[in-house]
């Protein structure tokens, strides 16, 4: 059974801060202000849930959020630390297995797709696509191959580390740009960080 980042739950945020400082957080919060009022929001692979606190700064209480993360430990940390007033449904399940009805106005996938090989990433995108309403927003943040040797090496090390610790099977980034275009999405805006090693994008349906 896929338990996501259970084995990294106690130190993932600290490790990320040691390696990247606040840059990965910055990338994820960059477009949160685009979430419309009263929106239904689906967050997939949110980890320890710090993003919920960042969302609270933009919308204090009018959102209906579904929070899906395969790691029961990450989800427990997120649930226990959330003290905001948006309505959040925490679901500790694999996104490919969870049963969710209804459509969302916004889907957020922060550093999530880098965990998957091309085929699985395509399956997930296809599934999530059916959950996003027409003209919905997809806030996508992830690593990007900027062809810089040191970043490629770092990515390799991260894949190796999370393969051993969390059973991540991917060993390179899926081509998400191609997949979004294939499903008819248009890119509304983009911000690159860390010399293009991280991208934050707004895709619309």
Ligand X SMILES: C[S@@+](CC[C@H](N)C(=O)[O-])C[C@H]1O[C@@H](n2cnc3c(N)ncnc32)[C@H](O)[C@@H]1O
- Quick one: tokens of 118? 């091309």
Q: Give the tokens for residue 73.
A: 């430990």
Q: Counting beta carbons within 10 angstroms of the beta carbon of residue 14, is it exposed (0 to 12), middle (13 to 18) or buried (19 or more)?
A: exposed
From 67, 90, 110, 143, residue interacting with ligand X (rule: CB under 6 A): 110
Nearest to 50 by CA among 91, 6, 21, 84: 84
Contacting residue, 55, 66, 71, 201, with ligand X by CB under 6 A? 71
Closest approach of ligand X to the CB of residue 96, in Å: 6
Shortest gap between Cβ of 97 and ligand X (angstroms)? 8
The neighbour count for residue 124, using CB atoms within 10 Å, is: 22
**Is residue 138 close enough to count as binding ligand X by CB under 6 A?**
no
Q: Is 131 in the site for ligand X (CB under 6 A)?
A: no
Q: How far is the CB of 112 from ligand X (least distance, A)?
A: 5
5-24 residues near ligand X, rule: CB under 6 A = 5, 24
- CB nearer to ligand X: pick between 42 and 44: 44
- In total, the chain counts a number of residues equal to 205
How many residues lie near ligand X (CB under 6 A)? Answer: 20
Gap between the Cα atoms of 161 and 184, Å rounded: 34
């Amino acid at each position: 059974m896929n338990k996501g980042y259970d084995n990294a739950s106690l130190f993932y945020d600290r490790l990320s801060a040691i390696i990247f400082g606040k840059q990965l957080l910055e990338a994820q919060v960059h477009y949160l202000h685009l979430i419309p009022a009263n929106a239904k929001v689906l967050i997939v692979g949110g980890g320890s849930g710090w993003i919920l606190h960042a969302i609270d700064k933009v919308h204090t209480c009018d959102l209906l959020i579904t929070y899906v993360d395969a790691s029961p430990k990450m989800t427990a940390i997120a649930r226990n630390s959330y003290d905001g007033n948006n309505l959040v449904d925490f679901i500790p399940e694999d996104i490919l297995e969870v049963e969710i009805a209804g459509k969302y106005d916004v889907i957020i996938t922060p550093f999530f797709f880098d965990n998957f090989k091309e085929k699985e990433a395509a399956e997930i995108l296809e599934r999530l696509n059916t959950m996003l309403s027409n003209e919905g927003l997809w806030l996508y943040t992830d690593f990007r191959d900027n062809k810089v040797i040191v970043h490629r090496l770092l990515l390799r090390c991260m894949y190796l580390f999370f393969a051993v610790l969390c059973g991540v099977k991917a060993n390179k980034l899926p081509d998400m740009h191609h997949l979004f275009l294939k499903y008819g999405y248009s890119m509304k805006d983009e911000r690159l960080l860390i010399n293009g090693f991280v991208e934050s994008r707004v895709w619309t349906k």
